[in-house]
């Protein structure tokens, strides 16, 4: 199974986006886990040990840069999302009758605030 970002409307995954890093939910830290879950706004989502969020959803200040990989600071909270776009996409899917509309989603390396 390919690791894919758990954030709603984000299609980034390990195979497709080589320049991104993927970070596990802080399952052991209940307070921080609750903050992450509130931020990603996914109804009825229960993260597992395999659930990840891509680095696009974190500010640059959330990372310690080491020689080989980006490490997430213990206090990091995801803050970069494209929820307004998600609501538009949901509304268009709901209103679509016969024609299908293609809606752009995240692309590797593109950031939304």
Per-residue pLDDT reduced to its tens digit, 27-65: 999 999 999 998 888 878 999 999 999 999 999 889 987
Q: Phi first, then psi: give them for residue 80, nearest 5 degrees.
A: -110, 115
Average pLDDT over residues 66-83: 83
First to last CA, the chain: 29
- What is the overall mean pLDDT for the chain? 77
């Amino acid at each position: 199974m390919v690791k894919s970002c758990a954030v709603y409307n984000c299609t980034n995954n390990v195979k497709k986006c080589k320049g991104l890093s993927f970070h596990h939910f802080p399952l052991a830290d209940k307070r921080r886990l609750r903050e992450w879950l509130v931020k990603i706004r996914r109804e009825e989502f229960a993260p597992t040990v395999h659930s990840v969020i891509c680095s696009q959803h974190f500010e640059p200040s959330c990372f310690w840069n080491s020689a080989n990989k980006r490490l997430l600071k213990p206090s990091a909270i995801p803050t970069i999302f494209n929820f307004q776009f998600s609501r538009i996409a949901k509304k268009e899917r709901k209103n679509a009758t016969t024609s299908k509309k293609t809606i752009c989603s995240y692309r590797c390396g593109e950031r939304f605030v």
